[in-house]
Structure 1
Amino acid sequence: MASHIYVRYLNGPLLWLGIIVGLAVVAAVVPMMIDSTWAAILFGALVIATTVACIMMRVKIVVSDDDVVVSILGIFTKRIALSDITGASVGPETGLKEGAGPRVVDGAPAYIVSGPTVRIEQGRSSLIASAKNPEDVVAVIEARLR
C-alpha cells in the first residue's frame, strides 16, 4: 500500500491571534532594526522568522505500511511502529484553550494546531494529533492494523 499523508495547518482563532501578534512584533522590531547594530538586526530577523514559523505551523501525519509518523513544525517528530498501535479513534476537538504546538491534552502528548484530532493508542498510552479529517486517518490506520 502507498503511504497516506495528512496535513493540518494552524487555523481559526489561533491563526488570527498569531497574525495579530506577528504584526505587533514586526511593528515593534522593525523600527529598532533601522540604523542599528548587526546583532540587533540579527535578533530582529530571528524574532520575525520565529513569528512567521509559528503562523505557518502545521501537523503532518504519514501512515505507511510500517509505521505512523506525526510531526509538528518539522522539528518535533514521533514515530510509532504499526505493531505498537493498539487502536485509533477520533480525538477531542482542540481550540484556544489548548493552544498550538507540542502539548498535553487529556493526559496524552499532543501535536495540535486547533480543531479536530485523532488519538493513536499504544497500549496504556496514546498520542493526539490534529487532523483535517480524523475519520479518514482512523480508517487508514485501522485498515493497516488488520
Structure 2
Amino acid sequence: MTDRADEETPQFVTFQSWRIRVAIAVVFFALIMVASALVPDGPYLLTTGPVFFIGFTAYSFALHRSVVIRLEDDAVDIRLGLHKARIPYEDITEAAVGPRTEWWRIGRRRLDDRATGYLTGGPSVRISTGSTSVVVSAAKSYRVAGAIQRKCDHLAEERGVARSRPAAEAAEPAPQQGRTTR
C-alpha cells in the first residue's frame, strides 16, 4: 500500500476574513428587517419565511467563499467559487509575494495593473507569465510563492536534463569497427 502523503497534491486554501462575513451577515439581517416591515400583516411563515431561508442559504454559500490553489504536476490550478484558472508551469516566469489587497475587493476582478485577481482580501501571490499576471489571495503567501517557484524550477531542471540527453548521445563517437590485418 502506498503512503497517502505521497499521493496528495499540494493545496492552499484561503478563506474570507471573519470580519467580512460578519459585515455581510449584518447587512443580510438588516434586509430581513426591512422586508418584514414591508409585509406587516402577512403570514410570515408561509410567504417570507421560505424566501428568507432560501436567500440566507444562497448567501451563506457566497459568504464562505474561498480561494483554492492546487499545485498539480504540470500546472497551477486556481479556483474561486465558479471561476477557475489553470497556469502551466512552463508559462510562469515568476511567482512572488503580491500586494496586500483590500477587504472590499473580493471575487474575480481586473486590477489596476491589468492583472486578473482571484481575491478574498489580505496577502496575495503574483504569478507572472510572459504576457499576463494573476494575483491570488493566499494567507501564507511566502509559502505559496516558494512552492510554485520550486515546482517551476524542478520542471525546468527535468526538461533541461531531458533536452541534454539527446545532445550528449549525439556527441559520443560512434563505436568504430576495428580493422583486421592479416
- Same fold by TM-score greater than 0.5: yes
Counterpart Cα distance in 2 of 1:109 and 1:56: 21
What RMSD in Å do the two structures reach over aligned CA positions? 2.3
Structure 2: unaligned runs, 5 residues or longer? 1-5, 154-182
Greater mean alpha carbon deviation, residues 14-23 or residues 115-124: 14-23
- Relative CO higher for 1 or 2, CA cutoff 8 Å, sep ≥ 6? 1
TM-score by length of 1: 0.83
Q: State whether structure 2 residue 149 is matched by structure 1 residue 142.
A: yes
Structure 1: unaligned runs, 5 residues or longer? none
Aligned residue type for 1:125: T
Q: State whether structure 2 residue 77 is matched by structure 1 residue 69.
A: yes
Greater mean alpha carbon deviation, residues 114-123 or residues 5-14: 5-14
Match of 1:123 in 2: 130
Higher strand content, 1 or 2 = 1
SS at 2:46's partner residue?
coil
CA contact (8 A) 1:29 1:44 kept: no
Identical positions, percent: 24
Task: Render the CA deviation track for 1:47-96: whole Å, top value 9, x for unaligned.
Answer: 222321222111111112211011112x1111111111111111111123
Counterpart Cα distance in 2 of 1:127 and 1:51: 27
TM-score by length of 2: 0.68
SS at 1:34's partner residue?
coil
Match of 2:163 in 1: none
CA contact (8 A) 2:103 2:122 kept: no
Pairs within 5 Å for 1:39-118: 43-73=51-81, 75-97=82-104, 99-106=105-112, 107-118=114-125
Give the counterpart of 2:46 among 31, 35, 42.
35
SS at 2:148's partner residue?
helix
Task: Render the CA deviation track for 1:101-140: whole Å, top value 9, x for unaligned.
Answer: 1112232111101100001111120111100111101101
Q: Which structure has the greater CA radius of gyration?
A: 2
Q: How many residues align?
A: 141
- 1:4 to partner: Cα distance: 1.1
